[in-house]
Structure 1
Amino acid sequence: MADKIKLLVAVLLVILGVAGFYFFADAPTVVRVLSVVAGVVLAGVVAGMSALGKRFFRFALDARDEAKKVVWPTRKETVQMTGVVVAFVVVMALFLWMVDGILLWLVKLAMGQGS
């Protein structure tokens, strides 16, 4: 039950931050944006204290660790694969244009408008 209350307080803090943005309509934009940022940060802190927040934080750390293990392609490999994708897109566009033209011709022929 305590976790649900923490999450409810977190949601209320975000709502208060957004409400502060509109409440301080005459204030400088920096103050209005800081109101929203403060609401979100405080909500994150409160939500992080719940069991669900702790699990999410652990998941985020694990995801970061897994991303570090990824072997990224070299610049040469990236350029080559981009070229392959662009070539495939051009070939596919020409193919679909040709099929569309043939189907258009067949429909016109079936409707008696073709020559």
Structure 2
Amino acid sequence: MADKIKFSLALVLLAAGVAGFYLLSEQAMILRVLAVLAGVAVAAAVAWKTAQGQRFFAFANESVVEARKVVWPTRKETMQTTAMVFAFVVVMALFLYLTDKSLEWVLYDLVLGWKKS
């Protein structure tokens, strides 16, 4: 029950930060943005104290650890892969264009006898 209250409080604080953005419409934009950021920060701090918040932040930390284990491709590998994808797209576009024009010729000129003028 306490977690539900904390989570509800976090949502209210988040809404208060967004409401502050609109209530401070006469003020400088930096103050309005800071109101939103403060609301988000305080809401995150309150949500962190819930069981769901603890599980979420543990999951986020595990995700960061797993992302560090990934072997990312080098710039050269990325450029080569991009070039291969681009070449495949060009070849497929050409193939589909030729297929379309061939079917158009067969259907309209040979089968139906409709000559284009």
Identical counterparts, % of pairs: 52
Partners of 1:105 and 1:114 within 8 A in 2: no
> Counterpart in 2 of 1:113?
114
Distance 1:91 1:24, change over 3 A: same
What is the RMSD of the two structures over their aligned residues, measured on CA atoms?
1.7
Which runs of no fewer than 5 residues in structure 1 stay unpaired? none
TM-score (norm 1): 0.89
Q: Which amino acid aligns with 1:113?
A: W
Q: Which moved more, 1:23-32 or 1:97-106?
A: 97-106
Distance 1:86 1:61 in 2: 36
Partner deviation per Cα, 1:47-93 (whole Å, 9 max, x = no partner) = 01000000000000000000000111122212211111111111111
- Contact residue 17 and residue 36 of structure 1 kept, 8 A: yes
Partners of 1:111 and 1:7 in 2: CA distance? 69
Residues 64 and 108 of structure 1, relative CA distance in 2, 3 Å threshold:
same
Aligned residues: 115
Gaps of 5+ in 2: none
TM-score (norm 2): 0.87
Range that drifts further, 36-45 or 73-82: 73-82
Aligned-partner Cα distance in 2 for 1:60–1:30: 29
- TM-superposed CA distance for 1:99, in Å, is 2.5
Q: How far apart are residue 105 of structure 1 and its match? A: 3.8
